[in-house]
Chain A
Amino acid sequence: MFNVHPAHDRRARNSSLTHPSTDTSPAPGIVYSTAMGQFDIRSYYSRLLSEDSTKSMPIAAMESLSALCDASKATTIHELLSSIEIGSKALIASVPNSISLTAGCAMFTKFISAHTHDDPRDFGAFKKKLQENGHLFAQSAREARFKIAALGVGMLRDGEVVMVHGYSRCAVGILKLAAQRNVRFKVIVTETRPSCQGTKLAVELRALGVPVAVIDDNAVAYAMKKCRSVLIGAESIFADASIINVMGTHQIALAAKKYHRKVYVATETHKFVDNFPLDQFDIPIEQDVINFDPPAGFDGPMPQTELGFVDYTEPQFIDAFITEVGLLTPDQVAERIVAMRFQ
């Protein structure tokens, strides 16, 4: 059983990422309530996601927490902070793959608590300021993707052939902006089974007139020589600038390294997580990829949940991160993540 860590082990590691787990939420995690009223952060969160399919999990989490701040009737800083904490815990508990969500919550909490020293006297004004800043933070996180597109479009120029794996909103933003600007580039898209995110991407890009070749996931190494660079997204970025992303990213990175192709990761900085796994099987997600004892009558690979499997890619396979704060080397990313601790 080397594929899945024992559950208690995982929780112990996770707790450093998130918050100490105490079961203080009144209803079983779903509703956060005060004496004055109720705020259902989970339904708010899932409504945000269902209303806007382009919204990513951490952004929705930040917006939900901002809304929680608005709704909260807290009268002290600690009360407010603890309501944020309970809210983010409720959110994290509600999804199976919570890494990026955790990152969003942690960043929001950090941001709020970074300002708690500012003005402890007048709590009303202070809370108002926090709320404003919280909304502004969530808003800037939303805008990050446009900045990434504007920066990342520089990687594409006429004659460029780029290989794309998965459907990352940041990466797609770059490709679409380049298409709008009439850059004559071509895209090799991996099919990205079983979610077929690649096919979805191919349809969208072809609609914009971009020449797209969809290849089998098995053909990555075969096709690598025909592209100049690889563009991927990331679900989370860890403190050593390693990433987790949709399954298959690691092998595409290996092939790119072999052929000296540049690997760019397009991502927002709110996906930075201050923690790092040691290898594939250390990522804090339970996924049943390798199973020697499959359910009866099951011949193919293990079925994937809605979120899909992810894998882990080390920083030495990545040339640069395209973020809203610029083109960062893995070293710079690592430094930024470590610097988050001191804020």
Chain B
Amino acid sequence: MAPTAPTSTLQTPGLKWWLTHLETDFHHENSVELYVGALKRRVIRNPVPAAVGTAQLFLRLISSYRFQSIRQLVDYISGVEERLSAARPREMSVRNMVRRVVGIIREEAENNGMGDQFQEALRSEDFEEALQGGPTALKKRPSLMTVKSFAVAASNPSLTNVFEIFSHPSSSITSSATSSPPSTGVAKPQSSVQHDVRPAIIQDIQELIEELDSCETNLAEYAMNVIHRNEVILTYGFPSTVQRLLLRAAQKRDFTVVVVEGSLNVYRKTHNAVMNKDTANEEDEDAAELAARKSLQDRGIQVIVISDSDVINFMGRVNKVILGTEYVFADGSLLAPAGTKNIVRAAKARNTPVVVLSGSYALCPITTFFEDQWIEMGAPKTVDFQEGYVIDNVEMPNPMVDFIPGSYVGYFVTNNGIVAPNAMYRATLDLYHMSECDLL
């Protein structure tokens, strides 16, 4: 966690290490195990690396897995998903990617006339189990493949269906009534299933990975819609999505950027980003790209760095707040680096509009009762091990993220378009072809 820790001689494993591993010595069992470990040890952390790593893993897994039916494939994927989610439940882009992969499988199964097989694969009794299963059953995260999420949407494109229990009334209800289990005669084991759908699935997953790679560029496309001439833009921590957007806007427009340096968790990264330096041995893959990139200052944009304590003073002069995010929930609330909530509250007090940039990997089809369960605590930044006596005597909590309700946000910019917070659930559910949010 500490930004200073790894020396340059020691190769720290990160996303690059993981992708190299997948390319050189991928093994369908060992690699999953390794990835679980990597997630647990925070070797792979943050939404983007986790999303890319997961999508790449599933690309390999599906390429190598031999399946007889769609059901088998879906079962296999959900089995892997459970292990990954258990390793790091708060890194929700892992789960989001699996949702996308399952959506791809559904689409391809339907294209090949195997939609009913997919439906059957999803008709698990998870929910009924949860209803009867007593205290433990619902404590765990709901299974990804519950009836309520994918099954309905698949057979009925209208996601707002109130009568969705009957979305396939003509066939299933009259024929298999209620008693017979779904596995009657539908599952015709075709050895050709994997030949039919696999190439298409793999191609779609590759497209998904490309989408992830081009996510920031796509977001930057909205620069001209978001930033206008002579505006004063305030941002917190200067995440790379915001940086890209501002750089794109700087090609055509003149404006001022106020960067809040952020809490102790992020200020070093902020300073590096402002100086257009490599972001503190985070992931070094785009180091070359960064070096080649012009900084905002090169483009003649005035950049002001202020401390967190100066936000209220500055807010009156700011036209717009542009923020990055970690995850966005279906109700429009979001998780952002700790300290962001101060910014949005100051913005609200001054009626300054808040724009949040979010890649599609960060959109979670999730609603929640408890906000605090999403807040991860990190090690205190102001003391180190030599000062153990301090820690013995006081508590020094260091939350890594803030939970920000959707009411603070003006609009979200995603790579699928601009979305208002109260329409976020629709955008999210459409993205995953789901009819309902998961409740976590």
Whether the pair B369, A154 counts as a contact (CB closer than 8 A) is yes
Whether the pair B425, A332 counts as a contact (CB closer than 8 A) is yes
B130 at the A interface (CB under 8 A): yes
A49 at the B interface (CB under 8 A): no
Category for how many chain A residues contact B: 35 or more
Interface residues of A in 324-343 (CB under 8 A from B): 325-329, 331-332, 335-336, 339-340, 342-343
- Write the chain A residue with the least CB distance to B435: A325
Question: With a CB–CB cut-off of 8 A, which chain A residues contact B131?
Answer: 146-147, 150
A133 at the B interface (CB under 8 A): yes
- Write the chain A residue with the least CB distance to B366: A327
With A118-B170, A136-B173, A154-B138 as known contacts, state yes or no: A335 contacts B436, CB within 8 Å.
no
A79 at the B interface (CB under 8 A): no
CA distance A342 to B162 in the complex (A): 10
CA distance A328 to B158 in the complex (A): 17
Question: With a CB–CB cut-off of 8 A, which chain B residues contact A335?
Answer: 160, 426
Whether the pair B425, A329 counts as a contact (CB closer than 8 A) is yes
For the complex, count residues of B whose C-beta is within 8 A of A.
32
A137 at the B interface (CB under 8 A): yes
A80 to chain B, nearest CB (A): 17
A255 at the B interface (CB under 8 A): no
Count A-B contacts at CB 8 Å. Answer: 81
Which of A140, A150, A327 meets B130, CB within 8 Å?
Answer: A150
- Write the chain A residue with the least CB distance to B178: A136
Question: With a CB–CB cut-off of 8 A, which chain B residues contact A8?
Answer: none
CA distance A217 to B161 in the complex (A): 39
Whether the pair A111, B163 counts as a contact (CB closer than 8 A) is yes
- Write the chain A residue with the least CB distance to B149: A326
A312 at the B interface (CB under 8 A): no
- Write the chain B residue with the least CB distance to A270: B162
Whether the pair A327, B165 counts as a contact (CB closer than 8 A) is no
A291 at the B interface (CB under 8 A): no
A263 to chain B, nearest CB (A): 13
Which of A118, A136, A327 meets B439, CB within 8 Å?
Answer: A327
A341 to chain B, nearest CB (A): 10
B367 to chain A, nearest CB (A): 4
A73 at the B interface (CB under 8 A): no
Question: With a CB–CB cut-off of 8 A, which chain A residues contact B435?
Answer: 325
B148 at the A interface (CB under 8 A): yes
Whether the pair B436, A325 counts as a contact (CB closer than 8 A) is yes
Whether the pair B160, A133 counts as a contact (CB closer than 8 A) is no
Interface residues of A in 62-113 (CB under 8 A from B): 107, 111
B435 to chain A, nearest CB (A): 8
B307 to chain A, nearest CB (A): 29
- Write the chain B residue with the least CB distance to A118: B170
Whether the pair B160, A181 counts as a contact (CB closer than 8 A) is no
Q: Mark B152-166, 1 if CB is under 8 A from A, else 0.
A: 000000101111111
Whether the pair B166, A137 counts as a contact (CB closer than 8 A) is yes
Which of A111, A154, A181 meets B135, CB within 8 Å?
Answer: A181
Whether the pair A331, B425 counts as a contact (CB closer than 8 A) is yes
B57 at the A interface (CB under 8 A): no
B134 at the A interface (CB under 8 A): yes
Question: With a CB–CB cut-off of 8 A, which chain B residues contact A119?
Answer: 170
B385 at the A interface (CB under 8 A): no
A115 at the B interface (CB under 8 A): yes
Q: Mark B117-156, 1 if CB is under 8 A from A, else 0.
A: 0000000000100110011001000000000100000000
- Write the chain B residue with the least CB distance to A326: B436
Whether the pair A339, B369 counts as a contact (CB closer than 8 A) is no
Question: With a CB–CB cut-off of 8 A, which chain B residues contact A136?
Answer: 165-166, 173
B270 to chain A, nearest CB (A): 31
Given contacts A129-B173, A154-B369, A339-B158, 9 further A-B contacts (CB under 8 A): A129-B169, A140-B165, A150-B131, A150-B138, A154-B138, A181-B135, A331-B422, A332-B425, A342-B158
- What 7 A-B pairs come out closest when comparing CB atoms? A339-B160, A326-B436, A181-B135, A327-B367, A331-B422, A155-B369, A140-B165
Q: List 12 A-B contacts (CB under 8 A).
A: A129-B173, A133-B166, A133-B169, A147-B131, A325-B148, A325-B164, A325-B435, A329-B367, A329-B422, A336-B162, A339-B162, A343-B161
